[in-house]
Structure 1
Amino acid sequence: MLDGIEDDLDFSLKLAKEESVIVLPGIAVGMKNWLRVTFAIEPASLEDGMERIKTFCERHAKKQ
């Protein structure tokens, strides 16, 4: 679970705003709380995007 993230749509919107990474919320294809990710870019950009997703998740990780 991520702190401050309600569902897949919220995750997608906040990820786009905070990290400039676009993913499709699963609700758009009938799969609530899943994400759809496409890789139609060169490997260096993909690596950067994945690092941004990691940073986003670490920022929103619930503190124990």
Structure 2
Amino acid sequence: MVKLNLSLLDGIRDDMDFCLKLAEEESLVVLPGITVGLKNWVRITFAADPSHLEDALGRIKTFYNRHTRGIKM
């Protein structure tokens, strides 16, 4: 589980919005925390070989940087 700091993100309203935009922009699906009672958290699960995980984490980083206010990671 990862807590979202929405004050750092432009154009992201909540965990559901984060998940929908991540799926739309990067073709990655993560579970919004609201589905398990944790508003503004996301659940990342994986069952893939390391090369696929590296690609997926790179796409999450790209998405985050595209939506971050100010400092880029």
TM-score, normalised with respect to structure 1: 0.95
How far apart are the structure 2 equivalents of 1:3 and 1:21? 19
The AA in structure 2 aligned to 1:19 is: E
Equivalent positions of 1:23-34 (< 5 A) are 23-34=30-41
TM-score, normalised with respect to structure 2: 0.83
Question: How much is the aligned-residue C-alpha RMSD, in angstroms?
Answer: 1.1
Deviations 1:8-41 (A, max 9, x none): 0000000000000100000011100000010111
Q: 2:47 aligns with which of 40, 46, 49?
A: 40
| Structure 1 runs (4+) greater than 2 angstroms displaced | none
Percent of pairs with identical residues:
62
Stretches of structure 2 that go unaligned for 5 or more consecutive residues are: 1-7
How far apart are the structure 2 equivalents of 1:28 and 1:40? 21
1:59, distance to aligned residue in structure 2 (A): 0.4
Counterpart in the other structure of 1:19:
26
How far apart are the structure 2 equivalents of 1:55 and 1:21? 12
